[in-house]
């Protein structure tokens, strides 16, 4: 190794879902990383020396940070985690050279601000809407697109009447100022833990004979959405998995709810998709050659329940219920697939079915190959045009990450982390 950088965490740090770090950002010769105790750190990429460290929020109040930052121009954009622990979400921008904070956008407004009327009482104080997956950036519009997580508490919405803005939403923010240009809420008043932190995909195309700048999102709630990324105008929504919670998405983009699809005290096992969602953190891939969008999807039924409304306590969760019971259901009620979709219309061109709901991301290449992996460690390659199986490799461990490709000494390599091992393949 050329160098090693180690950061020592405090002995007590609250984490929702394990000790997770989702990557780095690189700007010129500086690396940026977030930490579980809610710090943002800049590191000299040549020497491994720490250049600066900033506390984003107080970890004693259950704030953590897991997402890879997004480094753009002279700024570093960083989100936080902790919606399941009673935090109030935000997205920050910092000066890349000095570490001074440039702006902060609170994803849960305080009383008197726009959107505050969508929170009952003082529920906004612990409203969640964390920003735990890295967003996207349009350099022409100078807009950052970032998804937000669930409102808190997760499964008991009784204490937070209203739509709970800006939870489960896609935000379009001005990079320079952090000003909100527009927002779109996928799941108002979410009670199923369907964060809208899925990676937004930006593409330019034509709809109904009109050139459009689009942002598309396969949402955790089971619907695929197409929006105008300049204005936030809702254009399309279609289900891509079995879902039972909504009759449809109306012409404004708002779900029309089905009755009997809320968590209950005794448990409700009739709800699709499951608590882990139809999609989650898994990276999608748009291929301009095939003009198709590729992403993994999860077909699951789960048992949702709610508990009495929790009280916020440092170091403790703030769930208000849960969604489990996977062992109760038949194999045909829990499986996965890789989808190839026409992004403008939501039409599915082909599917590749796998036995278990996936956690891996997707990579497509100019050579018309799509790569992904099963939870059990089977790394596979498909023909991007028709889904035909080309080859696969059993890595022998669980896969939660995305493959990447790069050139080394004139040869194209594909790498994928399988548990604690990084495996590389050379392409002929």
Q: What pLDDT, on the 0 to 100 scale, is given for residue 49?
A: 98
Measured CA to CA, the distance from residue 185 to residue 108 in angstroms comes to 13
pLDDT digits (tens, 9 = 90+) for 242-252: 999 999 999 99
3-class SS at 117? helix
Measured CA to CA, the distance from residue 345 to residue 226 in angstroms comes to 8
Band (pLDDT 50/70/90 cuts) for residue 20 is: confident
Token representation of residue 311: 């009280």
pLDDT at position 93 over 70: yes
pLDDT digits (tens, 9 = 90+) for 196-209: 999 999 999 999 89
Instruction: Name the pTM for this structure.
Output: 0.96
> Catalytic pick from 92, 193, 195, 276?
193
Q: What pLDDT, on the 0 to 100 scale, is given for residue 155?
A: 96
Q: Which of 277, 79, 228 is nearest to 166 (CA)?
A: 79
pLDDT at position 1 over 90: no
For the chain, what percent of residues have pLDDT higher than 90? 90
Q: What pLDDT, on the 0 to 100 scale, is given for residue 418?
A: 93
CATH code of the domain occupying 359-428:
2.40.10.480
For the chain, what percent of residues have pLDDT higher than 70? 99
Q: What pLDDT, on the 0 to 100 scale, is given for residue 327?
A: 59
Q: What pLDDT, on the 0 to 100 scale, is given for residue 329?
A: 76
Q: Which of 314, 293, 86, 289 is nearest to 198 (CA)?
A: 293
Report yes or no: 402 and 417 within 8 Å, Cβ to Cβ. no
Phi, psi angles (nearest 5°) of residue 59: -65, -20
Measured CA to CA, the distance from residue 16 to residue 133 in angstroms comes to 14
- Write out the H or E segment, with its range, that includes residue 215: strand 210-218
CB atoms within 10 A of CB 39: 18
204 is catalytic: no
Band (pLDDT 50/70/90 cuts) for residue 352 is: very high
Residues of the chain with CATH 2.40.10.480: 359-428
Q: What pLDDT, on the 0 to 100 scale, is given for residue 346?
A: 98
Q: What pLDDT, on the 0 to 100 scale, is given for residue 13?
A: 86
- For the ranges 283-292, 323-332, 343-352, 378-387, which has the lowest average pLDDT? 323-332
The vertex-197 CA angle with 191 and 18, nearest 5°, equals: 85
Measured CA to CA, the distance from residue 108 to residue 131 in angstroms comes to 11
Report yes or no: 249 and 237 within 8 Å, Cβ to Cβ. yes
Q: What is the mean pLDDT of residues 210-215?
A: 97
Measured CA to CA, the distance from residue 310 to residue 85 in angstroms comes to 10
**Fold held by 25-358:** Methanol Dehydrogenase; Chain A (2.140.10)
For residue 93, give every residue at least 6 positions away whose Cβ sits within 8 Å of its Cβ, in sequence order, or none: 75, 76, 77, 78, 101, 102, 103, 104, 175, 178
Measured CA to CA, the distance from residue 87 to residue 406 in angstroms comes to 38
Q: What pLDDT, on the 0 to 100 scale, is given for residue 316?
A: 87
pLDDT at position 228 over 70: yes
pLDDT at position 186 over 90: yes
Band (pLDDT 50/70/90 cuts) for residue 326 is: low
pLDDT digits (tens, 9 = 90+) for 34-86: 999 999 999 999 999 999 999 999 999 999 999 999 999 999 999 999 999 99
- Phi-psi map region of 121: left, alpha, beta (phi>0 left; psi -120 to 50 alpha): left
Measured CA to CA, the distance from residue 424 to residue 72 in angstroms comes to 29
What does pLDDT average to over the chain? 96
The DSSP symbol for 266 reads: S
Q: Which of 40, 83, 77 is nearest to 62 (CA)?
A: 83
Pick 56 or 329 by higher pLDDT. Answer: 56
Q: What pLDDT, on the 0 to 100 scale, is given for residue 397?
A: 93
85 burial type by CB count under 10 A (0-12 exposed, 13-18 middle, 19+ buried):
buried
Q: Which of 291, 365, 372 is nearest to 337 (CA)?
A: 372
User: Maximum Cα–Cα distance for the chain, whole Å?
Assistant: 62
Q: Could you check whether the bond before residue 273 is cis, i.e. omega within 30 degrees of 0?
A: yes
Token representation of residue 351: 């599917």
Residues of the chain with CATH 2.140.10.10: 25-358
């Amino acid at each position: 190794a050329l160098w090693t950088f180690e950061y020592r965490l405090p002995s007590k740090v609250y984490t929702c879902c394990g000790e997770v770090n989702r990557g780095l950002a690189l700007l010129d010769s500086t690396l940026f990383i977030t930490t579980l105790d809610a710090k943002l750190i800049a590191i000299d990429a040549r020497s491994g020396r720490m250049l600066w460290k900033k506390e984003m929020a107080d970890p004693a109040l259950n704030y953590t940070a897991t997402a890879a930052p997004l480094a753009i121009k002279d700024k570093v954009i960083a989100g936080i985690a902790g919606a399941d622990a009673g935090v109030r979400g935000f997205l920050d921008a910092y000066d890349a050279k000095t570490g001074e904070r440039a702006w902060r956008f609170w994803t849960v407004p305080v009383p008197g601000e726009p959107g505050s009327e969508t929170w009952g009482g003082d529920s906004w104080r612990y409203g969640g809407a964390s920003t735990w997956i890295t967003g996207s950036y349009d350099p022409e519009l100078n807009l950052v697109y970032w998804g937000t997580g669930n409102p808190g508490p997760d499964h008991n919405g009784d204490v937070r009447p209203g739509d709970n803005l800006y939870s489960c939403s896609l935000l379009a923010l001005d990079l320079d100022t952090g000003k909100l240009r527009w927002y779109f809420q996928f799941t108002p008043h979410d009670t199923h833990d369907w964060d809208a932190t899925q990676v937004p995909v930006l593409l330019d195309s034509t709809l109904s004979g009109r050139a459009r700048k689009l942002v598309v999102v396969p949402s955790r709630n089971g619907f695929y959405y197409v929006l105008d990324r300049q204005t936030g105008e809702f254009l399309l929504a279609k289900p891509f998995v079995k879902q039972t919670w909504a009759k449809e998405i109306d012409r404004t983009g708002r779900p029309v709810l089905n009755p009997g699809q809320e968590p209950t005290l005794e448990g409700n096992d009739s709800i699709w998709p499951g608590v882990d969602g139809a999609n989650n953190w898994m990276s999608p891939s748009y291929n301009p050659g095939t003009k198709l969008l590729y992403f993994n999807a999860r077909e699951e039924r789960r048992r949702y329940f709610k508990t009495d409304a929790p009280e916020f306590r440092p170091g403790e969760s703030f769930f208000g219920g849960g969604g489990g019971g996977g062992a109760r259901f038949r194999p045909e009620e829990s499986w996965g697939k890789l989808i190839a979709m026409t992004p403008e219309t939501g039409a599915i061109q082909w599917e590749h079915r796998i036995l278990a709901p996936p956690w891996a991301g997707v990579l497509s290449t100019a050579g018309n190959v799509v790569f992904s992996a099963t939870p059990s460690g089977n790394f596979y390659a498909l023909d991007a045009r028709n889904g035909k199986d080309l080859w696969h490799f059993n890595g022998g461990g669980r896969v939660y990450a995305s493959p990447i490709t790069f050139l080394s000494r004139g040869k194209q390599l594909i790498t994928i982390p399988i548990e604690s091992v990084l495996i590389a393949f050379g392409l002929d």
